[in-house]
């Protein structure tokens, strides 16, 4: 084995860049990259602000899930609460806390980092941090009203072991939900020991 099995930051030289599209959410560009052997390759890159997601578990180890319509894939997906990291100066943890409250009406007393991953590293910079939230408390009036398509969000509780089986059966398709559920199931099996703090740095 060539050293520890962990990702590392490396940047191959970019010879030129051509921006193709820019809107409120993403930028699409084509980079010409110099390979280690001196040849060049074109890579299309979608820059994205990143996102957070929350695996919220109650005292009975049930997952708080939401269902919403996702137009690009033409499906209503069962997901976990999530949101873009697009608020200036807002930490990932604060974004996660806000999204949990806005989408479900719950707050949590305990927060840990569960997983970090890139959603589609072959072409996108989108990075996600999945948090584990426990010690849930409903907020009677959180002052937030869902608008537009978010008015149609449905929430439900699913036992963690049942959610894990739904993932393995191919019944769930949301990347953050799959990652959160499987990581949460593994963490639960180990008594939630050894988890990183919610404010752990991103490598």
Q: Quick one: three-class SS letters along the chain?
A: CCCCCCCCCCCCCEEEEEEEEECCCCEEEEEEEECCCCCEEEEEEEECCCEEEEEEECCCCEEEEEEEEEHHHCEEEEECCEEECCCCCCCHHHHHHHHHHHHHCEEEEEEEEEEEEECCCCCECCEEEEEEEEEEEECCCCCCCCCHHHHHCEEEEEEHHHHHHHHHCCCCCCHHHHHHHHHHHHHHHCCCCCCEECCCCCC
Pairwise CA distance, residues 98 & 82, whole Å: 10
Residue 96 falls in which region: left (phi positive, over 0), alpha (psi -120 to 50) or beta: alpha
Q: Is 150 a catalytic residue?
A: yes
Q: Which of 126, 150, 190, 202 is catalytic?
A: 150
User: What are the catalytic residues?
Assistant: 150
């Amino acid at each position: 084995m060539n050293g520890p099995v962990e990702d590392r930051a490396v940047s191959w030289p970019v010879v030129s860049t051509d921006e193709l599209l820019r809107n409120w959410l993403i930028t699409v560009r084509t980079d010409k990259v110099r390979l280690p052997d001196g040849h060049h390759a074109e890579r299309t890159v979608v820059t994205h602000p990143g996102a957070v997601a929350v695996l919220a578990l109650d005292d009975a180890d049930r997952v708080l899930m939401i269902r919403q319509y996702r137009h690009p894939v033409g499906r209503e997906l069962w997901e976990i609460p999530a949101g873009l990291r697009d608020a200036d100066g807002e930490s990932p943890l604060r974004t996660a806390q806000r999204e949990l409250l806005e989408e479900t009406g719950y707050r949590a007393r305990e927060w840990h980092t569960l997983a970090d991953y890139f959603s589609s590293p072959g072409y996108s910079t989108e990075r996600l941090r999945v948090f584990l939230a426990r010690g849930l408390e409903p907020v009677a009036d959180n002052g937030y009203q869902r608008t537009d398509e978010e008015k149609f969000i449905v929430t439900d509780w699913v036992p963690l072991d049942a959610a894990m089986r739904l993932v393995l059966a191919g019944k769930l398709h949301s990347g953050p939900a799959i990652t959160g559920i499987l990581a949460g199931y593994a963490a639960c099996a180990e008594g939630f020991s050894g988890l990183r703090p919610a404010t752990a740095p991103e490598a």
